[in-house]
Amino acid sequence: MFCAVGIVCYRNYNTQHSRLSVSECLSCRERHQPSILWGPQEVFSGSRPLRVGYYETDGSTMATPSMSRAVRQTRDLLQKAGHQLVPFTPPSLESALFGLVMRGLLADRGATFLDNFKGDEVDPNLRTQVTTYSCPSWLKSLLSMLVRPLFPRLSMVLETTQGIR
C-alpha cells in the first residue's frame, strides 16, 4: 500500500502545484483508494528535478510511527532520485482549530447548543460539555488562567467557550 502523508510537491519555485505520482492507478492496489487520475504525467517524466516540501508532524499531534516512516522513506527515495526536499512546518493547527473553528461554533457561548437540552435529560457523555458551556464567563476565565501552566489545551478550550468578545 502506498502512503504519502505530509508530502507536498512543487513543480518549480513559484506556486504552480503538481502531484507526486507513484503509479497510474493507485486504486488497483488499494481497494479503499478512490479511482483518481494522477496526471499530468509529463511533469514526472521530465528530467528537471522537483522541489518537494515535506513534514512529519503538524506540531499539534504526533504521527504514528508507520506514517513517519513512510514520509522518511519517500523523502529518501526522492532525494536519491535527485529531487530537492525541503522540510517545513505547517501553520499552527491548534490556533486554527481553537481560534477559528471553536470560536465560530461557540460564538454565542454555546447558547444554541444548550437550547437543545432545556427540559431534557443530558446524556452522560455530554454532561461535561453542557456543564462547561453553562458556567458563567468569569468562572471560565478564572479556571482558564489557573489551568494554563499545566493544561494549555484545556485553557484554550475554556477561553473559546466564552464566545466572541
Give residue 20's pLDDT: 42
User: How sure is the predictor about 10, in pLDDT bands with cuts at 50, 70 and 90?
Assistant: very low
Residue 165 lies in a domain: no
- 58 or 115, which is more confident: 115
Assess whether pLDDT exceeds 80 at residue 31.
no
Residues 129 and 101 in one domain: yes
Q: Give the tens place of pLDDT for each residue, 70-111.
A: 999 999 999 998 899 999 888 877 777 777 888 888 888 888
Q: Which residue's C-alpha cell is 519517500?
A: 74
Range name among 6-15, 46-55, 109-118, 129-138 with the lowest pLDDT average: 6-15
Last residue of a domain, one of 69, 87, 105: 87
> Same domain for 47 and 62?
yes
Say how far residue 135 (Cα) sits from the centre of its chain: 30
Same domain as 122, residue 50:
no
More reliable by pLDDT, 50 or 31 = 50
Strand partners, 52: 9, 85
Mark which of 87, 119, 149 sits at the end of a domain.
87
Q: What is the value of pTM for the model shown?
A: 0.47
Q: Are residues 77 and 104 in the same domain?
A: no
Cα dihedral sign for 141, 143, 145, 148? Answer: negative
Q: Measured in whole angstroms, how far is the alpha carbon of residue 25 from the centre of its chain?
A: 26
- Please indicate, yes or no, whether residues 70 and 123 belong to a single structural domain of this protein: no
Q: What is the pLDDT of residue 80?
A: 92
pLDDT: is 39 or 105 the higher one?
A: 105
pLDDT at residue 102, rounded to an integer = 82
Which residue, 38, 65, 87, sits at the end of a domain? 87
**Which residues constitute the domain of residue 148?**
93-160
As for how many domains the chain has, the answer is 2
